[in-house]
A and B are shown apart, each in its own frame.
Chain A
Amino acid sequence: MNQEPLWSIFINASLVNNFVLAYFLGICPFLGVSSKLDTAARMGGAVTFVMFVSSICAFGIQLLLVAIDAPYLKLISFIAVIASTVQLVEMFIKKFSPALFRALGIFLPLITTNCAILGLALFQTNKGYGFLQCIVYALGAGAGFTLALVLIAGLREKLELAEVPEVTRGTALALMLAGLLSVSFMGFGGLGG
């Protein structure tokens, strides 16, 4: 069992080893939904929630798989759980907040193929975290994802008004921004111990 303290897990997952900027997980929504600050923040919230739920489920599944000795089913069962969690969240949001449902649009079902979530489930089993550690890890990763998304959305909103050379418009510019953000996040190195 891993004995890492909870606060260190949180700092590590959100800042030092930020899922987007250090592990390159969840790049698709990072580039796709990051042109408006408002949507970016909501997307971050939805992803954090899905991470939280699927982290708990993945913990349970891992226990079960170890019990029945079938490690080769790990990937298939994880992805099935994530897909159904996303479906559940979608139905829940549709029922209770139709406005948010419309704002997120196509990106809500696409959370299923967000590698950050499957990545989280795989990392937590690889690291052998306990139940509480898993929850903190999921929350930290979600917070880090939201932070990265909001930061780049803010930058891109400003850039809308700036005059940039025509070749750099679009994805290339967003990638360069992400590179700069990634450099600045390296400054957090060593913080989590």
Chain B
Amino acid sequence: MATSTKTTTDEFIKGLWKENPVFVQVLGMCPVLAVSNTAINALAMGLATAFVLIMSNIVVSLLRSFIPKEVRIATYILVIATFVTVVDYVIQAISLDLYKALGAFISLIVVNCLILGRAEAFASKNTVVRSTMDGLGMGIGFAFALLCLGAVREILGSGSLFGVELFHDSFQDWVVMVLPSGGFFTLAGWLLLFNWMKQRKAKKEQSAALTLAGEAAQ
């Protein structure tokens, strides 16, 4: 449950960094790995997921007092599936190339555990405004993480970013980064970086606490 002292801005901020869905909670991995081979695919997927997340959070939060407890998961899934169908047709209308590149993974947003997780853990217990902010924060955090992965994979794997060539012709592409295994390695790399930062912070706090205790003893 969210505590009452938290402002709506806090609900928005937490999804961006402290509770980032990909890097911290490790949720919704399938699309993260599958469509992050170029930055543009990653960004499109991130935005599509963010849209579904925000809309489903709003609807679930609006209906939270009408949905019986026993069938709540099924209801959430139906709500999510409806919005995913909308997104599917919208992307098809905007850009057929993008639609082909993302393929079945647009439909697979339905089973993204992040969306169901937020509906169950947050939207079903909070007001509409809070849920919208939560969806917005989590959605942008998710899109940001996807973009991080997509950018690294595209720069190393094909020497470009958003389709713009970055290096001289003599640059040898790291083909493995565009292949499936590259997705695993890149995500592992980012997680390592985050673990390392967390560890360093913990160590710093520990040593600060130790010096404080030492000074107090003197």
Which residues of A are in contact with B by a Cβ distance under 8 Å?
A: 21-28, 31, 72, 75-76, 79-80, 83, 112-115, 118-119, 122-123, 126, 166-173, 175-176, 178-180, 182-183, 186
Q: Does B191 contact A (CB under 8 A)?
A: yes
Indicate if the CB atoms of B30 and A27 lie closer than 8 Å: yes
CA distance A123 to B105 in the complex (A): 10
Q: Which residue of B lies closest to A118 (CB)?
A: B111
A-B contact pairs, 16 of them (CB 8 A): A22-B180, A23-B180, A25-B34, A28-B30, A79-B78, A113-B113, A118-B108, A118-B110, A119-B104, A166-B199, A169-B195, A175-B184, A175-B185, A176-B185, A179-B183, A179-B185
CA distance A31 to B176 in the complex (A): 22
**Size class of B's contact patch?**
35 or more
- Would you call the interface of chain A mostly helix, strand, loop, or mixed? helix
Give, as a whole number of angstroms, the nearest-CB distance from B112 to chain A: 8
CA distance A179 to B187 in the complex (A): 10
Within 8 A of A (CB), among B108-141: 108, 110-113, 116
- Residues of A contacting B54 with CB < 8 Å? none
Indicate if the CB atoms of A175 and B188 lie closer than 8 Å: yes
Indicate if the CB atoms of A183 and B81 lie closer than 8 Å: no
Indicate if the CB atoms of A172 and B192 lie closer than 8 Å: yes
CA distance A176 to B89 in the complex (A): 36
- Residues of B contacting A75 with CB < 8 Å? 81, 84-85, 88, 107, 110
Starting from the known contacts A79-B81, A122-B104, 16 additional A-B residue pairs (CB-CB under 8 Å) come to: A23-B34, A24-B30, A24-B180, A25-B34, A26-B30, A72-B85, A80-B78, A115-B30, A115-B112, A167-B192, A168-B195, A172-B191, A176-B184, A176-B185, A176-B188, A182-B184
Contact A79 B77, CB 8 Å, known A26-B30, A115-B108: yes
Total A-B pairs in contact (CB under 8 Å)? 108
CA distance A37 to B195 in the complex (A): 27
CA distance A168 to B19 in the complex (A): 20
Q: Which residue of A lies closest to B86 (CB)?
A: A72
Q: Which of B89, B181, B195, B199 contacts A180 (CB 8 A)?
A: B181
Indicate if the CB atoms of B29 and A31 lie closer than 8 Å: yes
CA distance A76 to B81 in the complex (A): 6
Give, as a whole number of angstroms, the nearest-CB distance from B106 to chain A: 10
Which residues of B are in contact with A by a Cβ distance under 8 Å?
A: 26, 29-31, 33-34, 73-74, 77-78, 81-82, 84-85, 88-89, 104, 107-108, 110-113, 116, 176, 179-185, 187-188, 191-192, 195-196, 199
- Residues of B contacting A186 with CB < 8 Å? 179-181
Give, as a whole number of angstroms, the nearest-CB distance from A120 to chain B: 10
Contact A167 B81, CB 8 Å, known A28-B29, A31-B29, A175-B187: no
Most buried by A among B30, B74, B110: B30
Q: Which residue of A lies closest to B36 (CB)?
A: A24
- Residues of A contacting B33 with CB < 8 Å? 24, 27
CA distance A144 to B104 in the complex (A): 19
Give, as a whole number of angstroms, the nearest-CB distance from A78 to chain B: 9
Give, as a whole number of angstroms, the nearest-CB distance from A91 to chain B: 15
- Residues of B contacting A114 with CB < 8 Å? 111
Contact A171 B30, CB 8 Å, known A75-B110, A186-B179: no
- Residues of B contacting A183 with CB < 8 Å? 176, 181
Indicate if the CB atoms of B108 and A76 lie closer than 8 Å: no
- Residues of B contacting A118 with CB < 8 Å? 107-108, 110-111
- Residues of A contacting B82 with CB < 8 Å? 76
Indicate if the CB atoms of A27 and B191 lie closer than 8 Å: no
Q: Which residue of B lies closest to A123 (CB)?
A: B104
- Residues of B contacting A169 with CB < 8 Å? 195
Q: Which residue of B lies closest to A23 (CB)?
A: B34
